[in-house]
Amino acid sequence: MKLFHSPTSPYVRKVMACAIARDIDRRIELIPTNPHESPAALIANNPLSKVPCLVNDEGVALFDSRVICEYLDQIGDALPLFPASGSARWVALRYQAMGDGILDAAVGARMESMKPREAAREAFIERQMHAIDRTLAMLEQDPPGRMLDIGSIAVACALGYLDFRCAAREWRKSCPGLAAWFAAFGKEPAIARTEPPAA
């Protein structure tokens, strides 16, 4: 398998965390990619020019971290990251939605913050930050458990991205319980081994 990869992408981190958790990361060839340059090899497989993009052993290209993670969950013999049914499945998917929602808001705000300042852009960034703060408050009241599943991975990747790109938000001050969860869960090899390089 080949993965179009950017080491600072939190979505790539989520995919790699799932691959490590399933002990199949050595089966994935990483292709360093800058999606903002729309390289031909990426475009040929993902017309959206986004990473991650996984090309499986059959040559089928898969994109969007949610799709790739669910695909990887079908490979190997490790315990599933996506519970098959019942309340465990819906709880894991709910946490994944919260983690992905934080990422979508944080990445969108960061991209806008790199452009010239104007009132509409500032309003957009502030709206994204409020969405992040509300989601963090919900997670503070009910953090994920210690079970390694798609929900806990998504939330950990989101919190890691806030540390990496939005450190000024200082989310730990208002969410000490969530910070304690992240400190403990961050020791999981799937999370520890996928930390982005120092900025």
The greatest distance separating any two alpha carbons of the chain, rounded to the nearest whole angstrom, comes to 52
Q: For residue 99, what is the domain's CATH number? A: 1.20.1050.10
C-beta of residue 155 within 8 angstroms of C-beta of residue 95 = yes
Domain range for 57 is 2-72
> How many other C-beta atoms are found inside a 10 Å radius of the C-beta of residue 60?
10
**Confidence at residue 116, expressed as pLDDT on a 0 to 100 scale:** 85
170 located within any domain? yes
Share of the chain above pLDDT 90, in %: 84
The tens digit of pLDDT for each residue in 20-46 reads: 999 999 999 999 999 989 999 999 999
Answer for the pair 161, 106: CB distance below 8 angstroms, yes or no. yes
- Which pLDDT tens digit goes with each residue over 155-171? 999 999 999 998 777 89
The number of distinct structural domains making up the chain is: 2
Are 63 and 93 found together in one domain? no
Tell me: pLDDT of 133 over 70: yes
Reported confidence tier of residue 199, pLDDT bands at 50, 70, 90? low
Answer whether 93's CB lies under 8 Å from 150's CB.
Answer: yes
On whether the CB atoms of residues 12 and 6 are closer than 8 A, the answer is yes
Q: Rounded to an integer, what distance in angstroms lies between the CA atom of residue 89 and that of residue 37?
A: 37
